[in-house]
């Protein structure tokens, strides 16, 4: 019943916000950045990229901007020459991570169930 009340309470404006924030939960780069900042504290762009491995420069920059826009990470420009910018997880980002980890674990635990269901009932969505 609570889930229905939440759906009913969502206004049109909240709907796009919900989708955008939830997209971070399903995005491996966003999840990876948030996790790297939780583990490493303040990190520079290059440090985050090293921790993520195969992420492109463009994707990393784009994802950092989206996470910053939504208040999940904070950008610190030290206004030095050469430029020094660091990123860190906000309290909102940390709370987001703590709620997303159980969902990711659940998905991994049930990955084979999802695969079997897809084989049993081929999708007509494609």
pLDDT recorded at residue 5: 72
Its pTM stands at 0.80
CATH number at residue 48: 1.10.10.10
Query: Residue 62: inside a domain, yes or no?
Result: yes
pLDDT recorded at residue 27: 86
- The single-letter DSSP state of residue 48 is H
Are 86 and 80 in contact by the 8 Å Cβ rule? The answer is no
Q: Which CA distances in Å does 112 have to 59, 86, 121, 123?
A: 29, 39, 14, 17
In this prediction, residues 8-35 reach a mean pLDDT of 81
Beta strands in the chain (DSSP E): 43-44, 73-77, 85-89
pLDDT recorded at residue 4: 72
Query: Residue 25: inside a domain, yes or no?
Result: yes
The total of structural domains in the chain comes to: 1
Query: Residue 126: inside a domain, yes or no?
Result: no
Query: Residue 104: inside a domain, yes or no?
Result: yes
Query: Residue 109: inside a domain, yes or no?
Result: yes
Query: Residue 125: inside a domain, yes or no?
Result: no
pLDDT recorded at residue 114: 92
Q: In what order do the strands lie in the sheet with 85-89?
A: 43-44, 85-89, 73-77
pLDDT recorded at residue 62: 95
pLDDT recorded at residue 124: 62
In this prediction, residues 50-71 reach a mean pLDDT of 94
- Higher local confidence (pLDDT), 104 or 3: 104
Query: Which residue range(s) make up the domain with 108?
Result: 2-120
Burial of 91 (0-12, 13-18, 19+ CB in 10 A): exposed
Q: Which CA distances in Å does 32 have to 36, 37, 120?
A: 6, 9, 32
Query: Residue 51: inside a domain, yes or no?
Result: yes
Query: Residue 41: inside a domain, yes or no?
Result: yes
């Amino acid at each position: 019943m609570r889930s229905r009340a939440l759906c009913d309470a969502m206004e049109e404006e909240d709907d796009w916000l919900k989708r955008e924030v939830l997209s971070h939960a399903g995005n491996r780069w966003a999840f990876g950045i948030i996790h790297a900042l939780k583990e490493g504290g303040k990190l520079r762009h290059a440090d985050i990229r090293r921790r993520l491995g195969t992420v492109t420069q463009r994707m990393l920059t784009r994802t950092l901007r989206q996470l910053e826009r939504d208040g999940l990470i904070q950008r610190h420009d030290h206004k030095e020459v050469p430029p020094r910018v660091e990123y860190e997880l906000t309290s909102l980002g940390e709370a987001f991570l703590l709620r997303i980890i159980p969902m990711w674990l659940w998905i991994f635990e049930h990955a084979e169930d999802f695969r079997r269901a897809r084989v049993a009932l081929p999708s007509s969505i494609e």
